[in-house]
Amino acid sequence: MEKIFLFDTTLRDGEQSPGASMSLDQKITIAKQLEKMGIDVIEAGFPVSSPYQFETCATVSKTIKDATVCVLSRAVENDILKASEAVASAARPRIHTFIATSPIHMEYKLKKDPETVIDMAVAAVKYARNLVPEVEFSAEDATRSDWEFLYRIVEKAINAGATIINIPDTVGYTTPDEYGRLIKAIRDNVPNIDKAILSAHCHNDLGLAVANTLSGINNGIRQAEITINGIGERAGNAALEEIVMALNVRKDFYDFYTDIDTTQLYKASRLLANTIAFPIPRNKPIVGENVFLHQSGIHQDGVIKNKKTYEIMTPESVGRVSNTFTFGRQSGRNAFLQRLKDMNIEIPSDKKDIIYSRFLEIADAKKEVYDEDIFSIVNDELGTKTVFFKLDYFNIISGDVVEPTATVRIDKTGKILKEAATGDGPIDAIFNAIDKITEIETNLIEYNVQAVTPGREALGEVSVGIEIGGEYFAGRGSSTDILEASAKAYVNALNRYMIKTQID
Ligand code: KIV
Ligand code: ZN
């Protein structure tokens, strides 16, 4: 069996998803989770693009020891120099330099002729190789490029010192058969291709990113560029958990392996979803809530007789604990902490009391506490480390004959502020009171509530999307009281906006 190297770009391409900005602390937490699960390469960011990006890349480089830390640069000297400074303290540094190779990008975006593009690529790779031991070259928009031109630029990039050649489907345009043929053609037509590892970086505009990457793998790709939950520019990138489990479940067909500890996949997915407040669709492969549930009688009957009738992998294999957590208040603190351990959740000792007391609150309000409840509590408490606003208290007067009125108290970095406001309904009144306190002008564009777990006492999870100054910010909050969950979600989105203002 041959190994497929996994290159995670959640912190770079993933963060390019609108609304997915992360604070430095959050990025380090994600990077550590990636390292723990056995990822080979972490793309930490684009150092030249801002001082914050530079700092993030430098901090990831200092922190991560087992994985290669890679940073992005255009094919220009200043970008590459900054990139080399950002990875200076990495145990295994890599510079990833790219230039567009498709006619449309060269003519309209770069305004350069193809020969100049080749010269720039060669110069960039040579310059980078003098600064770091490992260089990856990407031919941006490769799948809309002339194949003969690609063979030439790839050959020259390898001669200049690139040992990883990435063939991105930048705009998610290719199809599995076509991408497979392109990879095979590159292997057949580039004389020095055996001196490099071929990499796939597929976007999901047609929903084909995972299929295209797998077809690439069958034709010679040995590094897959992926993101947790498939986040990334526009429709996103190939999803880490889908690629890993496709190779794992169908090893009979693919005959490849990865070094990923698959039992860490669910945790990584939840961690990211909470960090950037992007809800995971219930039917999302591998990590969605529905993927191990069986609705129809025929399916349930089959699963009772033998799980394999309708399950091609076990929940445990991706880190989901299948049995319902039925402890109540009487179960005790040790049993609760043991359960966190079983779920691969680590919490700092100073957070144990608060997380346990949140568990007791939920256990009081509900008959059964599920793993999803526990993830929600932990995410709530550990999620946004950079907290500017914290909901301290709220009170609502509402009904069919009174004007809904909310009084809200918020802790604004240590200062307690209180305001009251009316609204069209209780949630509108809460949001209006919060707006009065924060003095931030927002436009609510999304509001969703969903029960995280079954039953009338279920924990409700609210997700909101707000627009501030033309930019989108998502927020999530959970509680057995949906008004409280709504207030928390709104405050969470405002905290994300505050993080972004610091980053900018
Ligand atoms: O999609 C793309 O082409 C990229 C490159 C920078 C690799 O993200
Ligand atoms: Zn990309």
pLDDT by 10s per residue, the chain, length 504:
999 999 999 999 999 988 888 889 889 999 999 999 999 999 999 999 999 999 999 999 999 999 999 999 999 999 999 999 999 999 999 999 999 999 999 999 999 999 999 999 999 999 999 999 999 999 999 999 999 999 999 999 999 999 999 999 999 999 999 999 999 999 999 999 999 999 999 999 999 999 999 999 999 999 999 999 999 999 999 999 999 999 999 999 999 999 999 999 999 998 898 888 888 898 999 999 889 888 788 888 888 889 999 999 999 999 986 554 456 666 778 888 887 877 777 788 888 898 998 888 888 876 667 766 787 788 777 754 557 898 999 999 998 889 999 999 999 888 999 999 999 999 999 999 999 999 999 999 889 898 776 677 777 889 899 999 888 888 888 888 999 999 999 998 998 888 777 665
**At 429, is the secondary structure helix, strand, or coil?**
helix
Nearest-CA residue for ligand 1 atom 2 is: 170
Q: Is residue 283 part of a domain?
A: no
Pocket test for ligand 1, best of 203, 204, 205, 227 (most atoms within 8 A of CB): 203
Q: Is residue 272 part of a domain?
A: yes
Q: Is residue 445 part of a domain?
A: yes
Number of Cβ within 10 Å of residue 469's Cβ equals 11
Please report the atom of ligand 1 found closest to the CA of residue 141. Answer: 3
Q: Is the CB of 134 under 6 A from ligand 1?
A: no
Which residues neighbour 187 within 8 Å (Cβ) at sequence distance 6 or greater? 193, 198, 219, 220
Q: How far apart are CA 267 and CA 457, in angstroms?
A: 25
Q: Is the CB of 7 under 6 A from ligand 1?
A: no
Q: Is the CB of 169 under 6 A from ligand 1?
A: no
Q: Is residue 30 part of a domain?
A: yes
Say yes or no: 442 and 353 in one domain. no
405 and 397 Cβ atoms separated by less than 8 Å:
yes
Q: Is the CB of 237 under 6 A from ligand 1?
A: no
467, β-bridge pairs = 443, 472
Q: Is residue 284 part of a domain?
A: no
Q: Is the CB of 168 under 6 A from ligand 1?
A: yes
Q: For Cα atoms 370, 374, 378, give the angle at the middle one, nearest 5 degrees.
A: 170
Q: How far apart are CA 290 and CA 283, in angstroms?
A: 5
Say yes or no: 401 and 329 in one domain. no
Largest CA distance in the chain: 80
| Residue 213 CA neighbour count, 13 Å, CB half | 32
Q: Is residue 282 part of a domain?
A: no
- Domain hosting 133: range is 2-276
Please report the atom of ligand 1 found closest to the CA of residue 140. Answer: 3
Say yes or no: 423 and 362 in one domain. no
Task: Residue 407: name the closest of 392, 426, 423, 394 by CA.
Answer: 394
Nearest-CA residue for ligand 1 atom 3 is: 170
Q: Look up residue 106 and give its DSSP letter.
A: I
Measured in Å, residue 476 CA sits from the centre of ligand 1 at 29
Q: Is residue 358 part of a domain?
A: yes
Nearest-CA residue for ligand 1 atom 4 is: 170
Q: Is residue 439 part of a domain?
A: yes
- At 178, the amino acid letter reads E
Say yes or no: 98 and 246 in one domain. yes
